[in-house]
Amino acid sequence: MKHEIVNGLELPKVGFGTWKIGGGASADHRSDKKSLAALLSALELGYTHFDTAEMYAGGHAEELLGQALRDSGIRREGLFITTKVSPEHLDYTSVLAGCEASLGRLGVEYVDLYLIHWPSRLMKLEESFRALNKLVGDGKVRHLGVSNFGLSLLERSRELSETPILTNQVPLSMLDRKYVRNGMLAYCQANAIVLTAYSPFEAGKFRASRVLADVAKRYSATPHQIALAWLCNQPRVITIPMSFDAAHQSENIDAADISLSPQDLAQLGQTPASGTRQ
């Protein structure tokens, strides 16, 4: 698997997102068996970066990820775990409490990356980062980042963080290129910040265009793999697709190793995509 290297840290180009693991906005225990099977399959396939959040399934996604990590027997040190603090928990005390709760649900002593999930109009970013910096100093968090931040908030976060901001996690796909057009990708590339692309398949709305299908055929790949490869071939970009299907998980992780030619990248750069995959 190809990696993105930033500030001496190696991040796999393709990680595993956990939105819909254990439910949606709240826990749905009827899906536990299916969710655990998906997590264990991903671990067996070699995924090492798992992205979750206290918001996902009301914290149950973190619980299930923690259970899968224990059941797998894989050493904690070989994994990179990301979780996020919710926008309603951004005051100093709540950030600290939120991290403690996430660590408890995950069953780990630290997380590799802790993100502000969404900015809030009511947040005092100075207080949020005072708590985040303390978490790093206390060894409970290795790296800090943000999610869904615009350029001005990202710049302010860099000023307030006592350690380099590792990532801004935003929606990015072949169809949704807002964060290319608004300059975010270029800013991250110029400032040693990883852009973590979520919803690379547009939350199930992906459908291959004819050009995308033609490119896929040249690489003996699926259009979904080429859509991921398009992201993975961008400097400073990683992505976190999710699938309950083991075959799709395997295809996703293999997409990281597809090296697209400059000609195909240029062609895909002008090619919108839309459609569906479960």
Residue 275 confidence class, pLDDT cut points 50, 70, 90: very low
pLDDT digits (tens, 9 = 90+) for 29-44: 999 999 999 999 999 9
pLDDT at res. 271: 54
Rounded to an integer, the average pLDDT of 204-229 is 92
pLDDT digits (tens, 9 = 90+) for 93-144: 999 999 999 999 999 999 999 999 999 999 999 999 999 999 999 999 999 9
pLDDT at res. 277: 44
Domain ranges of the chain: 3-201+236-243
pLDDT digits (tens, 9 = 90+) for 147-171: 999 999 999 999 999 999 999 999 9
Q: Which two tokens stand for residue 199?
A: 């919803």
Question: In degrees, to the nearest 5, what angle opens at C-alpha 3 toward C-alphas 37 and 13?
Answer: 50
Kindly tell me if the per-residue pLDDT of 210 is higher than 60.
yes
Residue 28 Cα distances to 59, 62, 102, angstroms: 11, 13, 18
Residue 203 confidence class, pLDDT cut points 50, 70, 90: confident
Catalytic residue from among 56, 114, 179, 198:
56
First to last CA, the chain: 24
Contact 94, 124 (CB under 8 A): no
For the question of residue 56 being annotated catalytic, the response is yes
CA 204 to chain centre: 16
Residue 38 Cα distances to 32, 75, 189, angstroms: 10, 19, 32
C-alpha–C-alpha distance, residues 270 and 272, integer Å: 7
pLDDT digits (tens, 9 = 90+) for 71-95: 999 999 999 999 999 999 999 999 9
Q: Across all residues in the chain, what is the average pLDDT?
A: 95
Residue 274 confidence class, pLDDT cut points 50, 70, 90: very low
pLDDT at res. 276: 39
- Whether CATH 3.40.50.1820 fits 3-201+236-243: no
C-alpha–C-alpha distance, residues 69 and 63, integer Å: 10
| CB count in 10 Å sphere of residue 121 | 5
pLDDT digits (tens, 9 = 90+) for 167-198: 999 999 998 999 999 999 999 999 999 999 99
Residue 270 confidence class, pLDDT cut points 50, 70, 90: low
Residue 172 Cα distances to 51, 105, 203, angstroms: 16, 29, 11
User: Is residue 266 packed enough to be buried (19+ CB in 10 Å), middle (13-18) or exposed (0-12)?
Assistant: exposed
C-alpha–C-alpha distance, residues 49 and 256, integer Å: 13
Least confident window among 26-30, 87-91, 272-276: 272-276
Tell me 139's DSSP state: T
Kindly tell me if the per-residue pLDDT of 58 is higher than 60.
yes
Contact 146, 168 (CB under 8 A): yes
Q: Would you list the DSSP string of 176-238?
A: --HHHHTSHHHHHHHTT-EEEEE-TTGGGTB---HHHHHHHHHTT--HHHHHHHHHHTSTTEE
Question: In degrees, to the nearest 5, what angle opens at C-alpha 109 toward C-alphas 68 and 82?
Answer: 60
C-alpha–C-alpha distance, residues 135 and 255, integer Å: 35
